[in-house]
Homo-oligomer: A and B are copies of this chain.
Amino acid sequence: MATLEELAGLVGGTVRGPDDVIVQRVAPIDVAGAGDITFVVSAKYLDKLQGSQASAVIVTPGVDTADMPAIVCSNPYLAFAKILTHLQIHRPEPKGVMDGAIVSASAALGEGVTIHPGCVVGENASIGDGTILYPGVIVYDDVVIGADCTVHAGVIIREGTILGSRVILQASAVIGSDGFGFAPDGSSYYKIPQVGIVVIEDDVEIGSATCVDRAALGVTRIKRGAKIDNLVQLAHNVEIGEDTILVSQVGIAGSTVIGNHCTFGGQAAAAGHLKVGDNVTIGGRGGVTNDVDANQVLSGLPVMPHKDWLRASMSFGKLPEMRKEIKKLKSQLEQLEMQLKEK
């Protein structure tokens, strides 16, 4: 619960209307009622504001909100996220090592940690201040976890992994599994030991059932602020740049390095041993098979400029017609040639 004035201060906005309006919750415009603050990020939703029972709205400067009290700011979507966090997200009180958790005597636990039942923490592991392990998290030996991390149920963290601070691991993520490396040995395969580690830097979030393999030798690294969705595969020795976004079901093959501020759409992929520059966007299901320079938007398999891919895709269904046309042109041409000879 907060006043409009407090919330405007929180998001660096200004209040239009009475600044002592009390806000209890954030709600989408369709369902917002008394005590709710809502937000308008697109002009097409402005109409809905008229009938709304919301107590307040977040808008950009210049948007007419009639009688409704408003917070005016440059980025209403960001303001919405911050106000929602402020009003409705409360980090649970620390509970220490709970009954039914098994923590090795040689593990080092910071202040204010919570380790839920069913967790197993290995030897010489280190858990930073304020970090929460939800039930059933398995931490192998020699893992280092920073401060204020949130590790959801069923996450597996293999030996030697290093996590920064404020890292969020969604349920059942697997960090530090063996990379997929085998040496052909005549007709069968010999396992190449995977003796490297995974380093996950500060403020990274990793989705459910996403797999980040440990390096063969050296480090698989996910840099500060990267956000990775569910069911993503990151192979050994991959490097993901700062503030890069990988949407669900993306796959990045071994040793490929993705730059900063990149975005890979759902089911996109990159082959191994490639470099992708900064600020590259790969469309959903794009397939990167060569190095990519910075500052591009690409799609397709293999990737090409997104606009070219869109146009080519629109022509794909015309292929059978094109073949017919070519055939027809051929026969017309032959006829013309005949006619010309006759003349």
Tell me whether B174 and A208 are in contact (CB under 8 A): yes
0/1 interface trace, chain A 100-120, chain B, CB 8 Å (1 if under): 101000000000000011101
Chain B residues positioned under 8 Å from A162 (CB to CB): none
Bound together, the chains give a CA A189 to CA B314 distance in angstroms of 34
Question: Which residues 114-161 of A sit at the B interface, judged by CB distance below 8 A?
Answer: 116-118, 120, 134-136, 138, 140, 152-154, 156, 158
Q: Does A2 sit within 8 A of B, measured CB to CB?
A: no
Q: Contacting A329 at CB < 8 Å: which of B218, B271, B326? A: B326
In the complex, are the beta carbons of A245 and B84 less than 8 A apart?
Answer: no
Could you tell me if A340 and B336 are in contact, using CB atoms closer than 8 angstroms? yes
A257–B311 CA distance with the chains assembled, in angstroms? 27
Per-position binary interface string of chain A over residues 299-332, scored 1 when its CB falls under 8 Å from any chain B CB and 0 otherwise? 0111010001101111111111011011001101
Interface centre among A78, A251, A333, by most B CB within 10 Å? A251
- A304 CB to closest chain B CB (Å) equals 5
Contact of A248 among B78, B251, B312 (CB under 8 A): B251
What B residues does A304 contact at CB under 8 A?
Answer: 316-317
Select one of B156, B320, B322 contacting A172, CB under 8 A. B156
Query: Would you give the 0/1 interface string for A238-251, flagging 1 where the beta carbon is closer than 8 Å to chain B?
Result: 00001101011101
Query: Do A207 and B217 touch (CB < 8 A)?
Result: no
- Assign chain A's interface to a size class: 35 or more
Among A14-22, A48-56, A64-72, A178-186, the stretch in contact with B:
A178-186
A60 in the interface, Cβ–Cβ < 8 Å?
no
User: B102, A100: Cβ atoms under 8 Å?
Assistant: yes
- A63-104 residues at the B interface, CB under 8 angstroms: 75, 77-78, 80-82, 84-85, 88-89, 99-100, 102
| Complex interface: chain B residues within 8 A of A207 (CB) | 177, 180, 211
Excluding A168-B191, A189-B227, A302-B313, 16 further A-B contacts by CB distance (< 8 Å) are A89-B195, A102-B117, A134-B138, A136-B138, A152-B158, A154-B156, A156-B208, A177-B230, A191-B205, A229-B233, A249-B251, A267-B269, A314-B320, A318-B319, A322-B326, A325-B330
Question: Footprint of B on A, CB under 8 Å?
Answer: 26-28, 31, 75, 77-78, 80-82, 84-85, 88-89, 99-100, 102, 116-118, 120, 134-136, 138, 140, 152-154, 156, 158, 168, 170-172, 174, 177-178, 180-185, 187-193, 195, 203, 205, 207-209, 211, 213, 217-218, 225, 227, 229-231, 233, 235, 242-243, 245, 247-249, 251, 253, 261, 266-267, 269, 271, 284-285, 287, 300-302, 304, 308-309, 311-320, 322-323, 325-326, 329-330, 332-333, 336-337, 339-340, 343
